[in-house]
Amino acid sequence: MNTKLHAVADANGRPLSFFTTAGQVSDYTGAAALLDDLPKAQWLLGDRGYDADWFRDALYAKGIQPCIPGRRSRNEPVRYEKRRYQRRSRIEVIFGRLKDWRPVATRYDRCPTAFFATVALAATVIFWL
């Protein structure tokens, strides 16, 4: 019953698209699913879970500079801008505000489709209305 919610947001911290995966699934699955939904951007801010060479190559192919710290298990360290990475707090604010809605925070709905609809409704009301 555990799920992960992946989101793409704009520079103003408003969510553009979501994707849910099972809790035990790697973040790479969410990254691959949301890759086509990425808008034109200069930078992509992501946490360590999205650190993969194929994902970085796909971002470079789209003209997007990744700002993702490397995993601790990586043999070669990856360079990223630490000052820019601190702005990732905007993404954390999105998830915090979504969890202000009790059905999203406690995941009342057992059906993934109904849960996703609740997340979409909450995001629309909070960020776009």
Each residue's pLDDT tens digit, 20-67: 888 888 888 888 888 888 888 899 888 888 888 999 999 999 999 999
pLDDT band with cut points at 50, 70 and 90 for residue 70: confident
Burial of 91 (0-12, 13-18, 19+ CB in 10 A): middle
Handedness of CA 96, 101, 105, 109 (dihedral sign): negative
Q: Where are the chain's structural domains? A: 3-128
What mean pLDDT, rounded, does the chain reach? 88
Instruction: Give the integer Cα–Cα distance in Å for 46 and 7.
Output: 10
What average pLDDT does range 116-120 have in this prediction? 91
97: pLDDT strictly greater than 90: yes
pLDDT at residue 1 tops 80: no
Contact 94, 15 (CB under 8 A): yes
User: Which pTM does this prediction carry?
Assistant: 0.82
Q: Among 1, 4, 36, 45, which Cα is nearest to 17's?
A: 36
Q: In terms of CATH, what superfamily is 3-128? A: Ribonuclease H-like superfamily/Ribonuclease H (3.30.420.10)
